[in-house]
Chain A
Amino acid sequence: MNDQSDSICALSTPAGRSGMAVVRVSGEKSFQIVRSIFSPAKHFESPPARLAMLGRIVDPVDGSVMDEAVAICFPSPHSYTGEDMVEISLHGNPVLVATLLDFLCTCGARIAEPGEFTMRAFLHGRMDLTQAEAVRDLIEATTRRQAQAAAMQKSGTIALQLKPVKERLIEIIANLESAIEFVEEDLPLRSREAVVEQLRGLQDNLGKWIDSYRQGKIIRDGFSMAVVGSPNVGKSSVFNALLAQDRSIVADAPGTTRDLVSEYANMGGIPVRLMDTAGIRQSNDPIEQLGMERSQQAIADSDAVLLVVDSSQQPSSEDVDLRNGIELRTCIIVVNKCDLPSLWTLEQMERFADRLPLVVVSAKTGSGMEQLRAAVFNGIMGTPAGWQDGIMVTNLRHCRCLENAKEQLERAASALIGGMSEEFALTDLHEALKSLGEITGDTHVEDVLAKIFANFCIGK
């Protein structure tokens, strides 16, 4: 049973890309939680009731700014749930939304179960009977969904893959519990060092899966990539070459693409939403300016960037500005027009790329396009650690459970290294088991006892 005193958060607009996304936070601590990730442009002593506050979403760990957003506080009882609630409106980009939810969880919220907001609203008397009937139906649906999920677990998903990890954890727990419960028995128990080593192994496993969450999200939600560059370097040609179809208007006159053109391309089985953007340059044309604004936005919203330069022209100051502006992002440098004589030296190219992957192509002839596709795929998937094991975590709640479990294993390991008695480490190990249990279904203490009695001959 979920604790009603927790603060919960969830995306309340449809998932996927959209103009705006609204994330809701509800619960006693929601103001406090939002305060640690949202920095309003104007200073407020206390959260203003039902007032739209412009501000920035900041990383609660390092303070870096993620996005601009609008937050509205709804103090209890005048909110949807009847609890203190905050609605945060931000750009409708799944990556931003996921990051925001992640920040909120870091600060003490948890991801809401399906229907939980509505249920809380009902429990706080914020709904009439007809609505309550709807809640009941919703929960019934949840039950069915859980039944389906349980059925899925039997057929080779994350839960099934987690099972051996859970088994190993139960074994470690059984080993440590035996040391406590059967101190007078002559049991062949493992040394502390060996147990810590086992814990490290489990942590590595969980770590890989947590890393795979990003990749898993990409597989489910896809991935967006903006094609950017100075005017007339051939962005649209590259875009079309990747799509292998004529979608963008291609012309020699700079500034042809004034609006955003986007299309899904298939890169190694992953849907990648490519966005062709207007060239970035100084311009007084209001239409062109509008297009460029959108381009900037696309760069900000996308998961990665293809920066296209033209090797038949001397490197421009705009190229360098762009290059510097996207330093920290996942980016691939595309040196286009290699069918024409190059005015860039190899050294210039390398200096320009500065450790970023660089691919030389000709969108016109198709030369180098395969290498570009491969580079895009690798760029998206990163180091495919979990990917190689065929493990993919795609659910944020699961990812949080894994992160919690990993942290609890770490605490247990340090307790053991620090010379604490087994029961302290076990407190964290049982918690870790519970965290994994939230994904795979619960484990009762009887399972641990069963393991003890199967492994050891107990009984004086």
Chain B
Amino acid sequence: MKSATHHSEEFDVVIVGGGHAGCEAAMAAARMGARTTLLSLKSSRLAQMSCNPAIGGIAKGHLVREIDALGGIMGQIADRTGIQFRLLNSSRGPAVQAPRCQSDKSKYSNEMRIEMEWQENLFLQDAEVSGLILEGNVVKGVQLSDGSRIQAKAVVIATGTFLNGLIHIGNQSRAGGRISEQPSVLLAENLRALGFCIGRLKTGTPPRLDKRTINYAQFEEQKGDPNPTFFSTKTVSCTLPQISCHLGYTNERLHEVIRANLKRSALYGGFITGIGPRYCPSVEDKVVKFSGRERHQIFLEPEGLDADEVYINGLSTSMPEEVQQEMVRSIPGLEKARIIRPGYAIEYDFVIPTELHPTLETKKASGLFMAGQINGTTGYEEAAALGIVAGINAALKARRQDPVVFPREESYIGIMVDDLVTRGVDEPYRMFTSRSEFRLLMRIDNADRRLTPLGHSLGLVDDAHYQEFLKKYQEVDQLRDFMKGHRWNREIECPGLESQLDANAVKGSTLEEILRRPGINVEDLAPLLRAHSRMPSCVAVRNAVEIEIRYEGYIQQQMRDAEKIRRISSRLIPLDLDYAQMDGLSREIREKLKKVQPKDLAMASRIPGITPAAVSIIGIYLEMRQAGRKNSFKKPET
């Protein structure tokens, strides 16, 4: 294990915080060759899963695939420590399918730590950062609470829920970043003092139960997929034994307990000011807001293979501990269940994300980046995705190279960053596939096609892997061309196929047309493809070809729409554009533009409240400026 103990040392990149965002940022920066240190309160506890023991899911699984395609780490660690894999939406179209796994929490954390310890250029340290060192508006390093300093060319803050964290259980509140861990108060004060616009959010967790006190016979078993779908293209098989989860329901008795004790819940007792996510309501919320429902689902999810702790997904609560006990015991099968740790709600500070450029660098301080929950998001996957963006750009900053911006029309990562920096947030931001205007283009199967070339050019994807990627898509493109051009000769090729097709669809059909018939897949054409030495070598190629051919019409349509956005996005807005000079814009619109500082016309048009006419006016000023005729548009002196 390498470690850096000289506190006067200078680094290219300093990462503050060892959660999912911090780890991904640190790995990316170090792999790109930046001398990087990751500072956390406890470096033996990296990449903790403070909430549910699972990674992925719809839209979140998409993010993990994208991180993997870029050369990030989350996908590999999740695959290695997964104890149940399921492909969600497997009965739907390819664009909304996404993998999810149950994880062994402690193994996840361990694997991540080992990976990071072995990473060249990366140094882990236990330290509490108390403030930033700035010269003018340029960040120069961080100040530690023990009085020492670390110099850096770029700093990434990824403090998660630790920034002024406040934990609530019933009417008891105490400062904390996670249960029984200290919050980061000094840094929060420092950020406020530097003038960052800070908001407050809330999230919560359910109680953890002792596995040995649960009667599983009362629950419905849920197994994983027999043929797991992994996150990383590098993974070939499961590493760990696979387990089941269990499904059960709340009942009227439990709802009655909640209603009787509602005033004692931190949320309904008025102890919490932060805003919680609507899609992750506490069970109190569910009972109050959906009083018509007789029951709500709960899932029992083991926290690990050897762990005694079981996570009750669906029972997030901030009730006092004795009420939680009563709630749990009203569920059949949990009559004797023992709570190991009670559920709690946590409030924390976040920096309003419109303070950030799309590179995740702050507008106030050059060289200062922010990633993860501090940006107003929720979820491990969202955090990791922001982490890799911040890590990449911090490393580029340290090298004085141009930053990378992820276009909205190419990835969920791009959508998330764009949503955050143009719209801000009023509740913890979670990724949904419906946030994408180009959902059919952003699939898990083509995450590599969308992002691996970028990952390779940044040095995050190694040459060997990149060659494999090129080979795969060469094969895809060749097979597509072949199927477009080749007409099926039914007398001599694939005679069995005819019975699967309706008669009038057959005559003179190309293989492409045949593949578009319902129920036909590449496998059905195998004898023909083999005869022409065209049978794809792997499932990934087969999938890609089937998807691209089957949904071509829809995909083409969305590609045209994406192209339109791309054209408007190519009209860049210089950062020094003076909106105050622009006649014809209302004061309100000018202020919005000044705050968000859109980087191009398309982004400007996405800012809430910006009218199409306002965008046209900016467009005209840009043209004027380009033509060097800037002054002629000034208002005449009166």
Q: Which residues of B contact A132 (CB under 8 A)?
A: 620, 624, 632
Q: From residue 1 to 38 of chain A, which have CB atoms closer than 8 A to chain B?
A: 1-5
Q: Is the CB of B296 within 8 A of A146?
A: no
Q: Is the CB of A457 within 8 A of B88?
A: no
Tell me the smallest distance from the CB of A152 to a CB of chain B, in Å: 15
B620 in complex: contacting residue of A125, A135, A422, A445, CB < 8 Å: A135
A181 in complex: contacting residue of B281, B433, B601, CB < 8 Å: B433
User: Does A180 sit at the interface, judged by CB under 8 A?
Assistant: yes
User: Does B397 sit at the interface, judged by CB under 8 A?
Assistant: no
Closest B residue to A137 by beta carbon equals B584
Q: Which residues of B contact A313 (CB under 8 A)?
A: none
* A458 with B279, Cβ < 8 A, contacts A3-B567, A423-B440, A427-B440 known: yes
* A453 with B584, Cβ < 8 A, contacts A5-B567, A423-B93, A423-B96 known: no
Name the segment of B161-169, B461-469, B605-613 touching the other chain: B605-613
Q: Is the CB of B620 within 8 A of A136?
A: yes
Q: Is the CB of B633 within 8 A of A180?
A: no
Q: Is the CB of A448 within 8 A of B280?
A: no
Query: Within the assembled complex, what's the spacing in Å between the Cα atoms of A146 and B613?
Result: 8
User: Does A123 sit at the interface, judged by CB under 8 A?
Assistant: yes
Q: Which residues of B contact A3 (CB under 8 A)?
A: 564, 567-568
Name the segment of A101-109, A182-190, A392-400 touching the other chain: A182-190
Q: Is the CB of B439 within 8 A of A427?
A: yes
Q: Is the CB of B557 within 8 A of A119?
A: no
Q: Which residues of B contact A5 (CB under 8 A)?
A: 564, 567
Tell me the smallest distance from the CB of B282 to a CB of chain A, in Å: 9
Q: Is the CB of A424 within 8 A of B615?
A: no
Query: Within the assembled complex, what's the spacing in Å between the Cα atoms of A422 and B564?
Result: 25
Q: Which residues of B contact A122 (CB under 8 A)?
A: 620, 623
Q: Is the CB of A181 within 8 A of B434?
A: yes
Q: From residue 288 to 325 of chain B, which have CB atoms closer than 8 A to chain A?
A: 289-290, 293, 296-299, 313-314, 316
Range for the number of chain A residues in contact with chain B: 35 or more
User: Does B629 sit at the interface, judged by CB under 8 A?
Assistant: yes
User: Does B59 sit at the interface, judged by CB under 8 A?
Assistant: yes
User: Does B144 sit at the interface, judged by CB under 8 A?
Assistant: no
Q: From residue 413 to 460 of chain B, which have CB atoms closer than 8 A to chain A?
A: 432-435, 437, 439-440
Tell me the smallest distance from the CB of B251 to a CB of chain A, in Å: 14
Q: Which residues of B contact A426 (CB under 8 A)?
A: 434, 439
User: Does B197 sit at the interface, judged by CB under 8 A?
Assistant: no
User: Does A140 sit at the interface, judged by CB under 8 A?
Assistant: yes
Tell me the smallest distance from the CB of A98 to a CB of chain B, in Å: 24
Tell me the smallest distance from the CB of B61 to a CB of chain A, in Å: 12
Tell me the smallest distance from the CB of B571 to a CB of chain A, in Å: 9
Q: Which residues of A contact B313 (CB under 8 A)?
A: 460
Q: Which residues of A contact B557 (CB under 8 A)?
A: 427
* A1 with B89, Cβ < 8 A, contacts A143-B584, A180-B58, A186-B297 known: no
Q: Is the CB of A140 within 8 A of B620?
A: no
B583 in complex: contacting residue of A4, A125, A140, CB < 8 Å: A140
Q: Is the CB of B615 within 8 A of A183?
A: no
User: Does B602 sit at the interface, judged by CB under 8 A?
Assistant: yes
Tell me the smallest distance from the CB of A355 to a CB of chain B, in Å: 41
User: Does B554 sit at the interface, judged by CB under 8 A?
Assistant: yes
User: Does B614 sit at the interface, judged by CB under 8 A?
Assistant: yes
Q: Which residues of A contact B611 (CB under 8 A)?
A: 143, 146
B632 in complex: contacting residue of A4, A129, A445, A453, CB < 8 Å: A129
Instruction: Give the one of A5, A136, A180, A458 with max B CB within 10 A.
Output: A180
Query: Within the assembled complex, what's the spacing in Å between the Cα atoms of A135 and B633?
Result: 12
Closest B residue to A130 by beta carbon equals B632
Q: Is the CB of B623 within 8 A of A142?
A: no
Query: Within the assembled complex, what's the spacing in Å between the Cα atoms of A422 and B279?
Result: 21
User: Does B336 sit at the interface, judged by CB under 8 A?
Assistant: no
User: Does B224 sit at the interface, judged by CB under 8 A?
Assistant: no
Q: Which residues of A contact B624 (CB under 8 A)?
A: 132
Q: Is the CB of A460 within 8 A of B297?
A: yes
Per-position contact with B for A389-420: 1 when CB-CB < 8 Å, else 0? 00000000000000000000000000000011
Tell me the smallest distance from the CB of A153 to a CB of chain B, in Å: 13
Per-position contact with A for B89-107: 1 when CB-CB < 8 Å, else 0? 1011101100000000000
User: Does B194 sit at the interface, judged by CB under 8 A?
Assistant: no
Please, how many residues of chain B have a CB less than 8 angstroms from a CB on the other chain? 63
User: Does B617 sit at the interface, judged by CB under 8 A?
Assistant: yes
User: Does A139 sit at the interface, judged by CB under 8 A?
Assistant: yes
Q: Which residues of A contact B434 (CB under 8 A)?
A: 177, 180-181, 426, 445, 448-449
User: Does B199 sit at the interface, judged by CB under 8 A?
Assistant: no
Q: Is the CB of B432 within 8 A of A181?
A: yes
Q: Which residues of B contact A427 (CB under 8 A)?
A: 439-440, 554, 557-558
User: Does B619 sit at the interface, judged by CB under 8 A?
Assistant: yes
Q: Which residues of B contact A180 (CB under 8 A)?
A: 58, 89, 92, 96, 433-434
User: Does A220 sit at the interface, judged by CB under 8 A?
Assistant: no
Closest A residue to B557 by beta carbon equals A427
Q: Is the CB of A140 within 8 A of B278?
A: no
User: Does A421 sit at the interface, judged by CB under 8 A?
Assistant: yes
Instruction: Give the one of B313, B316, B435 with max A CB within 10 A.
Output: B435
User: Does B235 sit at the interface, judged by CB under 8 A?
Assistant: no
Closest A residue to B90 by beta carbon equals A183
Q: Is the CB of A457 within 8 A of B290?
A: yes
Q: From residue 564 to 593 of chain B, which have CB atoms closer than 8 A to chain A?
A: 564, 567-568, 583-584, 586
Q: Is the CB of B608 within 8 A of A444?
A: yes
Q: Which residues of A contact B364 (CB under 8 A)?
A: none
User: Does B616 sit at the interface, judged by CB under 8 A?
Assistant: yes
Q: Which residues of A contact B440 (CB under 8 A)?
A: 423-424, 427
Q: Which residues of A contact B314 (CB under 8 A)?
A: 459-460
Q: Which residues of A contact B612 (CB under 8 A)?
A: 1-2, 113, 146
Q: Is the CB of B93 within 8 A of A139?
A: no
Tell me the smallest distance from the CB of B65 to a CB of chain A, in Å: 17
Query: Within the assembled complex, what's the spacing in Å between the Cα atoms of A227 and B296?
Result: 73
Q: Which residues of B contact A186 (CB under 8 A)?
A: 296-297
Query: Within the assembled complex, what's the spacing in Å between the Cα atoms of A4 and B605?
Result: 14
User: Does B286 sit at the interface, judged by CB under 8 A?
Assistant: yes
Q: Is the CB of B297 within 8 A of A139?
A: no
* A453 with B278, Cβ < 8 A, contacts A146-B611, A444-B608, A459-B286 known: yes
B619 in complex: contacting residue of A1, A420, A445, A449, CB < 8 Å: A1
Tell me the smallest distance from the CB of B603 to a CB of chain A, in Å: 11
Query: Within the assembled complex, what's the spacing in Å between the Cα atoms of A125 and B613?
Result: 20
* A143 with B433, Cβ < 8 A, contacts A1-B605, A119-B620, A460-B297 known: no
Q: Is the CB of B613 within 8 A of A142?
A: yes
Per-position contact with A for B504-539: 1 when CB-CB < 8 Å, else 0? 000000000000001000000000000000000000
Query: Within the assembled complex, what's the spacing in Å between the Cα atoms of A1 and B565?
Result: 10
Closest B residue to A122 by beta carbon equals B620
B584 in complex: contacting residue of A136, A185, A422, A460, CB < 8 Å: A136
Closest A residue to B57 by beta carbon equals A184
B279 in complex: contacting residue of A2, A133, A453, CB < 8 Å: A453
* A424 with B584, Cβ < 8 A, contacts A139-B617, A181-B433, A458-B279 known: no
Q: Which residues of A contact B627 (CB under 8 A)?
A: 125
Tell me the smallest distance from the CB of B213 to a CB of chain A, in Å: 22
Q: Is the CB of B92 within 8 A of A422?
A: yes
Tell me the smallest distance from the CB of A99 to a CB of chain B, in Å: 28
Tell me the smallest distance from the CB of A7 to a CB of chain B, in Å: 14
Tell me the smallest distance from the CB of B554 to a CB of chain A, in Å: 6
Query: Within the assembled complex, what's the spacing in Å between the Cα atoms of A396 and B498?
Result: 51
A selection of 9 A-B contacts at a CB cut-off of 8 Å is A1-B602, A5-B564, A119-B616, A139-B620, A143-B584, A423-B433, A427-B557, A449-B432, A459-B279
Q: 7 closest Cβ contacts across the A-B interface?
A: A421-B93, A421-B92, A453-B278, A140-B584, A457-B290, A1-B615, A143-B613
- A177-B434, A426-B439 known; 5 other A-B pairs, CB under 8 Å? A129-B632, A139-B584, A426-B434, A445-B432, A449-B278
Binding site for B on A (CB under 8 A): 1-5, 113, 119, 122-123, 125, 129, 132-133, 135-136, 139-140, 142-143, 146, 177, 180-181, 183-186, 419-424, 426-427, 430, 444-445, 448-449, 453, 457-460
